[in-house]
Amino acid sequence: MESVLSKYENQITIFTDYLEEYSDTDELVWILGKQHLLKTEKSKLLSDISARLWFTYRRKFSPIGGTGPSSDVGWGCMLRCGQMMLAQALICRHLGRDWNWEKQKEQPKEYQRILQCFLDRKDCCYSIHQMAQMGVGEGKSIGEWFGPNTVAQVLKKLALFDEWNSLAVYVSMDNTVVIEDIKKMCCVLPLSADTAGESPPDSLIASNQSKGTSAYCPAWKPLLLIVPLRLGINQINPVYVDAFKECFKMPQSLGALGGKPNNAYYFIGFLGNELIFLDPHTTQTFVDTEENGTVDDQTFHCLQSPQRMNILNLDPSVALGFFCKEEKDFDNWCSLVQKEILKENLRMFELVQKHPSHWPPFVPPAKPEVTTTGAEFIDSTEQLEEFDLEEDFEILSV
């Protein structure tokens, strides 16, 4: 397997141009909900981009599953993009969107802890090992390429074992986001209660929802909202372009997963009709924690000029990401969607208040009853039977 993967290392095809030079223009650049005036804030823009955690192909990590691949070159790009989107959610959760990274500067302890969630070791909750093995439960063999929805389903299940970040991960179905279901999943009883972390009774939720989306919620579990979409048949339909770009302007934006057939990128913003993205197709050596317990983070930030792609060259299968730390953030997101997305005649996705009557009942995902950690739980693929197999919504066309 290693010899097969190694041949890819010098054969990575890059389809886009580097943004080595930004032209002087009065246009705004949008990066994950923040705007930059290109003409006067070029250095601030590049600093904002380089602050995002950048996950790429790695080699020489411990074999996945004990006997599997020790590199994800050639197949792990969508998994790495999923890691980048989730990492941005964790940065927003613990450090805030305005947090910035500077090379060789001491960072908050939360930053180091976030980074350690993604190291290429089987005992790290969002490692390539965990994602690849959880993908088996989604019908994907270890070493097989993932689509955007598969990655979303994998992250949803791995998050159940992550008690520190305590995220509620909602992956929409059938191009539809259901407010009632999200409120049911994110509204939990206060931590002081005997049933801390549990959802409040349905009667309380129903009562609150009848008063509108801003009704009282006892405590809000931070929400990672992923919306898998297909925006065309073989190529993106131009009618969706404006709505797609609007999503990057929302303060809750985590960008988008997508790219070209079998080449995934993490899209973080746009300039005009060009999408700006982080590219995982660089092979680096495995990095582990040092003796003092910290991680050398120099290879986890992209210090090159960012790359770009014309939005019409995007494969139509994508997944949008949003993070709502508090209930008011979700309510604000709903208002923005109603104003900017639902105004279109051909809507990119739907936002509805009530759970559709023809759908199966919504049951918030729950951690299986096991006595081990998440890492130990999926150390063997035989133990993945606890999870239901969820059919892919869309994958990038091959």
In 3-state terms the chain splits into helix, strand, coil percentages (rounded to 5) of 30, 20, 50
Rounded to the nearest 5°, which phi and psi values hold at 159?
-60, -20
Structural tokens at position 169: 């991960």
Structure tokens at 228: 């898998």
Question: Are 104 and 120 in contact, with CB atoms under 8 Å apart?
Answer: no
Instruction: Answer for the pair 80, 57: CB distance below 8 angstroms, yes or no.
Output: yes
Q: Give CA–CA dist 34/250, Å, rounded.
A: 8
Give the C-alpha separation, 94 to 81, whole Å. Answer: 20
Report the candidate in 122, 121, 217 with the shortest Cα–Cα distance to residue 168.
Answer: 217
Helix (H), strand (E) counts: the chain: 11, 15
Taking the C-alpha atoms of residue 335 and residue 33, their distance in angstroms, rounded to an integer, is 15
Is 383 within 8 Å of 368 (Cβ atoms)? no
Residues annotated as catalytic are: 77, 279, 281
Measure CA 182 to chain center. 17
Cα distance between residue 168 and residue 228, in whole Å: 17
Helices assigned H by DSSP within the chain: 2-6, 42-50, 77-94, 109-116, 128-136, 148-158, 179-186, 202-209, 241-249, 327-340, 374-377
Neighbours of 198 (CB within 10 A): 12
Given the DSSP bridges, would you call strands 28-31 and 223-230 parallel, antiparallel or unpaired?
unpaired
| Cα–Cα distance for residue pair 213/209, rounded to 1 Å | 6
- How many C-beta atoms lie closer than 10 Å to residue 282's C-beta? 17
- Tokens representing 265 are 């990128």
Cα–Cα distance between 106 and 339 in angstroms, integer? 41
Tokens encoding 215: 């009704």
